[in-house]
Amino acid sequence: MRPQIRIPIPFLLPCSCPISASTSSSSISSNSLFLYAPNSRLSQWTCHQCLEQRRVQRHQIAHLLSREYSTTTPQFQKFNNNWGNNTNDKRRPRRALRYAAAGGTLGAALFAFSDDLKHVYSAAERTGRVTVALAVCINDYRKTLNRDSDSEEEKAGWLKACHKRCAQRTLRVLEKNGSIFIKLGQHLSSMGYLLPLEWTTTFIPLQDKCPVSSFESIEEMFVKDTGHTIDELFSSF
């Protein structure tokens, strides 16, 4: 006798397709059964036709869902663009408000410290003039002293010319800077016992031909420093 194959009844559930009641379990071939055991368990058997139909249905459903929720569809792109435009529209007023606040703060700071900023700028400008003139004069002296010549008179002439050039450069810087620099030039013009003649004679114009300040600028300085005009402080000026 052939051995009979027994399959537990709970796992031989009928599929959705109609099967004749007269069909016995022995007449069903092994190709018509689908046994699926993901966790080492037998699942219900399904005929080949229903299995293929379910596969097709699952594939169609998955395709529809992928089209519905895909990020590359025109509907999603339109939604994404609209959302981005709305976000940018909301950010623009905030940016404008921030820029306006920053500009107002900067303007208020400049207005409050305008005098200090003027002094800082003036000091930096004067320092820059002195630094440039000093560098040029040092380079001029270096080139002059490094020149070779067998004649001492020629060397002395080169050195005197260098003294004159450097003194004229320094004079222009002192006149542009004004203020205490004029007093410095006047003092240097009287130091003939120490400085070369080219330097002292070049600074002589600072004694009586220095730049003149206008009366309005002097009166403005008095009002700014004391709060009173010249007529209020002096009987004659």
CA distance 128 to 119: 14
Do 144 and 214 lie in one domain? The reply is: yes
Do 77 and 181 lie in one domain? The reply is: no
Count how many domains the chain has.
2
pLDDT for residue 227: 86
Token pair recorded at residue 23: 């069909």
pLDDT for residue 208: 80
Question: Higher confidence at residue 69 or residue 128?
Answer: 128
Do 92 and 129 lie in one domain? The reply is: no
Domain presence at residue 35: no
In tens, the pLDDT along 205-225 reads 888 876 777 888 888 888 888
pLDDT for residue 233: 83
Average pLDDT over the chain, rounded to an integer = 73
**Could you tell me where the DSSP H helices lie in 41-151?**
48-68, 74-112, 114-145
Question: Higher confidence at residue 33 or residue 96?
Answer: 96
Question: Higher confidence at residue 175 or residue 212?
Answer: 175
Unique residue bearing structure tokens 């004159």? 164
Domain presence at residue 211: yes
Q: Which domain holds residue 100?
A: 47-112
Do 144 and 182 lie in one domain? The reply is: yes
CA distance 79 to 82: 5
pLDDT for residue 125: 92
CA distance 100 to 208: 53
Asked whether residue 91 carries a pLDDT value surpassing 80, the answer given is no
Question: Higher confidence at residue 161 or residue 103?
Answer: 161
pLDDT for residue 111: 62
Q: What predicted TM-score, i.e. pTM, was given to this entire model?
A: 0.48
Domain presence at residue 80: yes
Asked whether residue 69 carries a pLDDT value surpassing 90, the answer given is no
First to last CA, the chain: 147
Domain presence at residue 7: no
Do 81 and 125 lie in one domain? The reply is: no
- Rounded to an integer, the average pLDDT of 84-102 is 65
Domain presence at residue 183: yes
Q: Is 182 exposed, middle or buried (0-12, 13-18, 19+ CB in 10 A)?
A: middle
